[in-house]
Structure 1
Amino acid sequence: MTVLEEANKLMEMDQVDQAIDHISSHLEHATDDERFGFAEFYMNWGFLLEAEDILLHLLKQYPDESELKLLLTDIYIEQQMDEKAIDLLNSIPSDDEAYLQALVALADLYQSQGLFEVAEQKLQFAKEISPTEPIIDLALGELYYSLGDFKRAITFYEKSLKIEAPDIPIHERLAESYLNVGEFELALNFYEKTNSKNPDTLFKYGFTAFEADRNDIAINVWNELIEEDPYYHTAYIQLAKAYEEDERIQEAYETALKGIKMDEFNKELYFLAGSLAHQVGLEEETEKYMREAVNLDADYKEAVLFLIEILKEKDRQDDIIELIKVVKETGGEDPLYDWELARAYNEIESYNDALNHYQEAYNSLQHDNDFLKEFGYFLMEEGRTGEAIKIFTAYLQDDPQDDEIVDYVNRLRQM
């Protein structure tokens, strides 16, 4: 058994000190080849300073040996000593067989420093030297991917598919790149080739399938994601929506409730649970979950308006007024709230309050034809003919083909 074999065996038996001592005791009388092997041993086991000492000693004896420089570069990068690494890489001449590898490593370093143009220049130069080298294509793919230039990233990732890069999930990168350019079918093809259990990857996989109208895949993937990570809250929302789209409303509702158990402060889950409860005819639960959503965010407009519609169905005008007042008191501002207040006050025959809120809403909704038409009729009922004509005239500027209103306004003017 060689010195290295014995040292590796000791390390595997967790006898670290004995392994290091074994190497150290043979270092002084070792050949240069053996010392190189010892340096690799130290690097493999994370003893970077010990490896650096040996490699620097060897580099003094063999100043043109690029393999030594590349190994030292790895050590310097690991120690975040980028400038030393760059100097070493730049010392490798263009006629050296390791020159291409040096260019790629330099590009990676410059990219990590945010010097993207310099990194691109290094890789394009490498591409000119070796146009068909897939490692360079992969490096270019990584660069453009990091910059969000997904179309260009796709071009180079596709060219690098034939190589194995254990540290870079090329299929996953291609999937996400196609996803970002809206090519959902192509993205789905590449997601299907990945074996990743990473929650973010699974979420994007499910989202891609959903966008590609493959709810069956989306549902399976998101269920797998929740099994892998029950606290991935967004997955419950998306899974419930996928079930809903498949008209599996009960399963959608149960999924939303499971999500609430995992995240009781998620307003979207409460809104979704309320909406789904409404679809399965659970009136009390519908109001309960919608109110929870509004309690978490008083200006959650979608939930507020949904809750208003529920209360309207039950003719609970006073509850609508109370709800909107609370929303407005807590900072919720939207002209639709004033419009709904005006309607509610009109229903309970509190006409002055209704008028005030119609006028308040008018400041923002003066170009909303549905509002103008309703406001105009309200003013007529209140005997404010001149104001009604003004509102209807504004309405007709946007919709001059409404013959019913044209005739109505003409009659009002004649009156």
Structure 2
Amino acid sequence: MELALKTEKLIERSIIRICLILFVNLVCFSGLSQESVTEKEYLDLIDYLTNQLLIDSTDIFSLENRGLAYMNIGNFDAAIKDYHFLVQLDSTNNKYYGLLGLSYSYLLDHPRAVKYYSQAISYNPFYVDHYINRGVSYEMLNKYELAKMDYLKSIKIEETNQKALINLAYLYHDYLDNNDESITVWNRLLKIDPFNASYYNDRGLIFLDENKIDHSLQDFLRAIQLDPRKAAHYYNCARAYEKLGEVESALMYYEKAIDADSVDSNIYFYRSKLYEKMGDSINAKIDLKKVIELEERYE
């Protein structure tokens, strides 16, 4: 009897821990939980909550948490059923519409996702993540101006929201062909977080596209200083040196990139191009062979 009670208490503690993680996800639901919860724990939680719902099918706590648990194991269809039922129970709750939108986004049904994000916004026009998530769906639908409007709306509500700013910076560069605006947004992000290596790296890539090589090199070197473990910072630095015609420096930074991450196929791809320019067909072929080998291994 004591063992049974002890086991029950352990199960309850585990359920409470997972529910707390899911609660954070429910409040900030632009993505799934990154906490270390195993699939088995989620399945145990689903079983527990399903039993609770057999007692009371309208138990909002159980429905919310089961829906999130389903999402975290990739069962979005089941999550959608729970959220639709929650909408029937509370038809003006913006978070349920937002979670419906997110579930449909993960199923790549972006037209429906937009529909539910829009309903979420109608009930809470000041919740930033609804605009960000709808913006992402608009991007997936190639509606880039609408995506831009949503990111700008979210930034108007929360000026320092880095998710919205990052999405906007990429949107300007990747789809709207506006590198100047993209750089302006990266500048803004670096004012918010001046020690973020990825921001320097991403801004450096745009400077590289614009052939502002000195600016790009400065950003890549700063990224390396802030995060010396990331291979991309080194091979982007190598690419900048390559554009400056400083071949030895470029080769040195490709080697540093390999030291940081020897299985990043981008390093060997970019270096093979440099070897081709140098007329070194043997090393170019060796690197291209490495690219194929790595992509086959990790595809």
Alpha-carbon shift at residue 285 of structure 1 (Å): 1.2
Q: In 2 relative to 1, CA 331–374 (structure 1 residues): closer, same or farther, beyond 3 Å?
A: closer
What residue identity is the alignment partner of 1:235? Y
- Structure 1 position 370 matched with structure 2 position 244: no
- Structure 1 position 408 matched with structure 2 position 275: yes
After superposition, the C-alpha distances for 1:57-114 in whole angstroms (9 at most, x for unaligned) are xxxxxxxxxxxxxxxxxxxxxxxxxxxxxxxxxxxxxxxxxxxxxxxxxxxxxxxxxx
Task: Report the count of equivalent residues.
Answer: 252
| Correspondence for 1:360 | 222
After superposition, the C-alpha distances for 1:41-63 in whole angstroms (9 at most, x for unaligned) are xxxxxxxxxxxxxxxxxxxxxxx
Q: In 2 relative to 1, CA 341–306 (structure 1 residues): closer, same or farther, beyond 3 Å?
A: same
Alpha-carbon shift at residue 222 of structure 1 (Å): 0.8
Distance 2:269 2:89 in 1: 61
| Correspondence for 2:140 | 279
Distance 1:245 1:226 in 2: 19
| Correspondence for 1:70 | none
Distance 1:189 1:334 in 2: 43
- Runs of 5+ consecutive residues of structure 2 not aligned to the other structure: 17-37, 281-299
Query: Are 2:138 and 2:146, in contact at CA under 8 Å, matched by a contact in 1?
Result: yes
After superposition, the C-alpha distances for 1:385-414 in whole angstroms (9 at most, x for unaligned) are 4432331231233439949738839x699x
Q: In 2 relative to 1, CA 338–296 (structure 1 residues): closer, same or farther, beyond 3 Å?
A: farther
Q: In 2 relative to 1, CA 194–332 (structure 1 residues): closer, same or farther, beyond 3 Å?
A: farther
The residue matched to 2:142 in structure 1 has which SS?
coil
Alpha-carbon shift at residue 283 of structure 1 (Å): 1.8
| Correspondence for 1:102 | none
After superposition, the C-alpha distances for 1:93-146 in whole angstroms (9 at most, x for unaligned) are xxxxxxxxxxxxxxxxxxxxxxxxxxxxxx84xx9xxxxxxxxx6x76775466
| Correspondence for 2:65 | 204
TM-score by length of 2: 0.68
User: Aligned residues: percent identity?
Assistant: 12
Aligned partner of 1:253 among 87, 95, 114 = 114
Q: In 2 relative to 1, CA 350–209 (structure 1 residues): closer, same or farther, beyond 3 Å?
A: closer
Alpha-carbon shift at residue 218 of structure 1 (Å): 2.3
Distance 1:279 1:199 in 2: 32
| Correspondence for 1:183 | 43
Query: Are 1:199 and 1:229, in contact at CA under 8 Å, matched by a contact in 2?
Result: no
Q: In 2 relative to 1, CA 283–390 (structure 1 residues): closer, same or farther, beyond 3 Å?
A: same
Q: In 2 relative to 1, CA 232–399 (structure 1 residues): closer, same or farther, beyond 3 Å?
A: same
Alpha-carbon shift at residue 189 of structure 1 (Å): 4.5
Query: Are 2:220 and 2:234, in contact at CA under 8 Å, matched by a contact in 1?
Result: no
Moved more, 230-239 or 334-343: 230-239
Distance 1:308 1:301 in 2: 10
Distance 1:213 1:404 in 2: 36
Alpha-carbon shift at residue 150 of structure 1 (Å): 5.3
Distance 1:278 1:381 in 2: 32
| Correspondence for 1:103 | none
Alpha-carbon shift at residue 187 of structure 1 (Å): 4.1
Alpha-carbon shift at residue 205 of structure 1 (Å): 2.8
- Structure 1 position 309 matched with structure 2 position 170: yes
Query: Are 2:49 and 2:62, in contact at CA under 8 Å, matched by a contact in 1?
Result: no
What residue identity is the alignment partner of 1:371? H
What residue identity is the alignment partner of 2:238? G
Query: Are 2:220 and 2:236, in contact at CA under 8 Å, matched by a contact in 1?
Result: no
Query: Are 1:179 and 1:187, in contact at CA under 8 Å, matched by a contact in 2?
Result: no
After superposition, the C-alpha distances for 1:155-207 in whole angstroms (9 at most, x for unaligned) are xxxxxxxxxxxxxxxxxxxxxxx998222563465255242423222212323
Q: How does 1:8-407 map to 2 (within 5 A)?
A: 124=2, 143-144=9-10, 148-149=13-14, 181-183=41-43, 186-187=47-48, 189-191=50-52, 193-211=54-72, 214-230=75-91, 232-297=93-158, 300-312=161-173, 313-331=175-193, 333-397=195-259, 398-399=261-262, 402=268, 405=271
- Runs of 5+ consecutive residues of structure 1 not aligned to the other structure: 1-122, 128-136, 152-177
TM-score by length of 1: 0.51
Q: In 2 relative to 1, CA 367–270 (structure 1 residues): closer, same or farther, beyond 3 Å?
A: same
Distance 1:364 1:333 in 2: 7
Query: Are 1:298 and 1:332, in contact at CA under 8 Å, matched by a contact in 2?
Result: no
Distance 1:330 1:204 in 2: 34
